[in-house]
Structure formats: C-alpha cells, structure tokens
C-alpha cells in the first residue's frame, strides 16, 4: 500500500517574498521601481489615489457593526453577556474605540498585507483587550518546537517574543498562507510611475510652467554660471510666471524638453488612478473619478464594491477572530458576523417595495421590517410580530374547497 505524504512542511519558516525581484526576471531592492522612484508603504500614502483607496476601504469596514452571536434552538441571538462582544463591538482597549481599532487593522492589511494585535487575557483565559502593533516591526519565525513565534522590536521598550495565542494575526494574500505580502510592494512600479508623474508636474509648475532649455550666446562667456543663476532668479518659479524675458548681446533661449501635452502627462496621471484602483479593487467613482460613471450604473458599482471588495475582507476578519479569540468549546456555540445590510440597501422606494412583497407573502412581520429600518418595535399585543399572507393565496390541493363549502384536506 502506497502512503502519500503531504508536501506541506509545518516546520518551514513563514516567508514574506516581497523583497524578491518581481517582474520579468529584473530585480530591484525593496522600494526601488523602474521609474526610479522609491516606493514604501508610507511614501505610497502620499499618492492621493492610494490614500483615497485605503481610506474608503478602512472606513467602510470600521463603520460596519460587528456582533458576536450564539446559536439557539430558534436560530441565533446576540451574545451580549460574553466578554468578547463588548470588546469587538465597542471598546477593544482603554485607549481606542472599535471603529479606530478596525480602521488601523485594515490600513495595515491594505499597506503591509498583515495586521497584528496583541491579545491581553485575564486569569480565566478570557480576552480583555486588543492592542494594534506595527507590521513593519514584526518578524515571524518558527521555533525548534515547530511552533510559530512573533518577535516585535519596539523602539523604546526593546524586543518582545509572543506565542501564537498572544497575537491576533490577520493574514492577507500570501504565498504560504502564514504571512501576507504587501500590496504596495507587489504594485510598486505602478505606484512609482504615479509618484514620478506627480513630481514631473510639480517640477514643471515650479519652473513657471515653461520647459527647460539652453541659453545660447554668440560669444564666449567667462562666468556662465552667473548668467544661468541670474536667469533662474529672474524667470524661474511659479511667482515669476509670464514675465517678459529680455535677452542681450544676441543671446537665444532654446527649449529642449518635451511639454506636458506632448508627453501625454494628463493621460498618464488619469491612467495611474485607474491602475491604483485596480490594485485595491475600488470603483474609480468612489475616489472622485466620475469620468466613466453615470446615474444609471453608479448604484450597481457601489453594490459590486460591497460584494467583491468589502465582503472578502470581512470574511477574512470574521474567520480569524473565530479561530484565534474563541476557545474550541466556545466555537461550538458562538460565531462572529459583520452586519452589511446597511450597505446593501437600495433607495427608499426599492426598499419599501421589497418590504411590501415580504409582508404580503408572510416572511416579514411589521417588527422585522421596522428592525431593518432601525425603528422601535410595535408591542406584541398590538400585532407587531404577526405574520400575514395574501388572502387569495391557498394551497393548490385546497383550491375550490372554501367556495364550495367542502372540507379541506388539512382539517
């Protein structure tokens, strides 16, 4: 009998391959790009498109309610009394609220590909606080016992080593499933080109919006540096724009650079915005690029954003919390879930039409609808929990029995 062994080796050290050369076999040190600009997670945030994409995703995930649920005989209900509920929903630690904590976690995931938080437990093993840690200061190793350990280098307090159960590690897309790689590092060439285009535009306008060139003199100049510096002082910079130049002794100015229109400067900048949106899977209209959006498709694009961009991140976070913050015994009774109903709701007229269909066909009560609209419930004695159905809808087996006076099969 042949025994097939797994090729996955749990003893292997987790790796982050973002420092390797990526793209056509041409290798650069981490941060260097083909445009010549250095790109890191922090410098990328100075690009408006990157900042806008990171902000829209982080704020959207942070604004969604997150609940801890308990399985019941009738389905599920919120586990308000569990210590983890308030920690996730309201206050993860004394220094920040849940919105800020999740916003920081998402920004780390979007920039570094990993989110690390220190888990504080009490004597009973219950989680009492979560503190975010900077991904750039974390190193992951596998010890001699084949277990994973996290080494955190704090600038002021030294080096700390944490066990796996002491760190809430949300892993982004990665090669080995244990460490995520940085989206910024993987797309550094596209972001580097965007930075280069911004720098080119800034340089152009700082030079009064005129191209560089050569001052040509018919004779021999003893001190050409002084002539050049005098020209720059008189006509360089945006404050000297549109000044009339005066050339003496037969001197001529010959431009040698390509103007922005010929270099397709604006087209390049627009394309790089779409490139960065493609990296983060954000519809361009959400970062104020409305060129290809209209009233007919913008709502559908927003729903697509929730389904294809936000939902995968939510599932990633939910399953990590379930795995790392709940004990094996608790996992049989509890689960974590984000509420995305608010993002998926359509306009008022569409919602009311949907509620009316559900109400008339018996799967919505008045209180079910009011709860979805964040309204107070109607008291039970007034019929708020009653389920109704349209009177002209009967079982096909009983059709005609009521009008003919006959008895139905269910009586």
Q: What is the pLDDT of residues 132-146, one digit of tens each?
A: 999 999 999 888 888
Average of per-residue pLDDT across 355-384: 84
Does 331 or 387 have the greater pLDDT score? Answer: 331
Instruction: Give the DSSP H or E segment for 13.
Output: none
Exposed e or buried b for every residue in 8-44, given b needs 16+ CB within 10 A? eeeeeebebebeeebeeeeebeebebebebebbbebb
User: β-strands 66-72, 148-154: how paired?
Assistant: unpaired
CB contact set of 156 (below 8 Å; sequence gap of 6+): none
- CA gap 154, 111 in Å, rounded: 20
Q: Give pLDDT tens digits for 231-285.
A: 666 665 555 555 566 666 667 776 655 555 545 555 666 667 888 888 899 988 8
Does 296 or 4 have the greater pLDDT score? Answer: 296
CA dihedral angle for residue 352, residue 358, residue 364, residue 365, rounded to 10 degrees = 70
pLDDT on residue 43? 82
- CA gap 149, 161 in Å, rounded: 7
Residue 273 Cα distances to 181, 259, 299, 357, angstroms:
22, 21, 21, 42
Q: Angle at CA 40, nearest 5°, toward 315 and 307? A: 25
User: Which of 113-117, 126-130, 277-281, 340-344 comes out lowest in average pLDDT?
Assistant: 340-344
Does 240 or 338 have the greater pLDDT score? Answer: 338
- What the block records as the tokens of 121 is 């437990």
What angle do the packed helices 311-325 and 98-112 form, to 10 degrees? 110
pLDDT on residue 73? 84
The DSSP bridge partners found for residue 152 are 138, 160
């Amino acid at each position: 009998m042949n025994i097939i062994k797994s090729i996955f080796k749990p003893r292997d050290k987790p790796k982050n391959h973002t420092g390797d050369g990526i793209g056509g076999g041409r290798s650069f040190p981490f941060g260097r790009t083909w445009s010549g600009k250095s790109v890191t997670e922090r410098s990328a945030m100075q690009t408006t498109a990157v900042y806008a994409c990171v902000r829209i995703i982080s704020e959207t995930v942070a604004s969604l309610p997150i609940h801890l649920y308990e399985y019941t005989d009738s389905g599920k209900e919120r586990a308000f009394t569990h210590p983890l509920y308030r920690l996730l929903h309201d206050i993860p630690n004394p220094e920040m609220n849940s919105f800020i904590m999740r916003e920081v976690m998402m920004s780390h995931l979007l920039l570094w590909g990993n989110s690390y938080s220190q888990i504080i437990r009490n004597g009973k093993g219950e989680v009492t606080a979560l503190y975010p840690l900077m991904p750039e200061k974390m190193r992951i190793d596998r010890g001699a016992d084949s277990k994973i350990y996290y080494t955190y280098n704090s600038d002021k307090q030294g080096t700390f080593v944490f066990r796996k159960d002491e760190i809430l590690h949300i892993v982004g897309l990665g090669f080995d499933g244990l460490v995520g790689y940085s989206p910024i590092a993987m797309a550094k060439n596209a972001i580097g080109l965007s930075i280069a285009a911004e720098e080119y535009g800034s340089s152009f306008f700082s030079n009064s919006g005129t191209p560089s060139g050569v001052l040509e003199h018919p004779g021999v100049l003893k001190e050409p540096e002084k002539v050049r510096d005098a020209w720059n002082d008189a006509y360089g910079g945006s404050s000297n724009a549109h000044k009339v130049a005066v050339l003496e002794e037969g001197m001529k100015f010959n431009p040698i650079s390509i103007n922005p229109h010929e270099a397709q400067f604006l087209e390049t900048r627009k394309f790089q915005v779409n490139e960065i949106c493609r990296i983060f899977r954000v519809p361009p209209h959400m970062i104020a690029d409305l060129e290809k959006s209209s009233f007919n498709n913008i709502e559908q694009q927003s729903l697509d954003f929730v389904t294809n961009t936000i939902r995968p991140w939510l599932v990633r976070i939910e399953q990590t919390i379930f795995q790392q913050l709940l004990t094996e015994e608790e996992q049989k009774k509890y689960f974590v879930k984000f509420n995305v109903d608010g993002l998926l709701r359509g306009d008022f007229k569409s919602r009311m039409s949907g509620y009316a269909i559900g109400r008339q066909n018996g799967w919505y009560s008045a209180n079910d609808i009011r709860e979805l609209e964040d309204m107070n419930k109607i008291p039970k004695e007034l019929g708020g929990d009653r389920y109704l159905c349209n009177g002209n809808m009967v079982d096909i087996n009983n059709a005609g029995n009521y009008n003919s006076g006959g008895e139905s099969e269910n009586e």
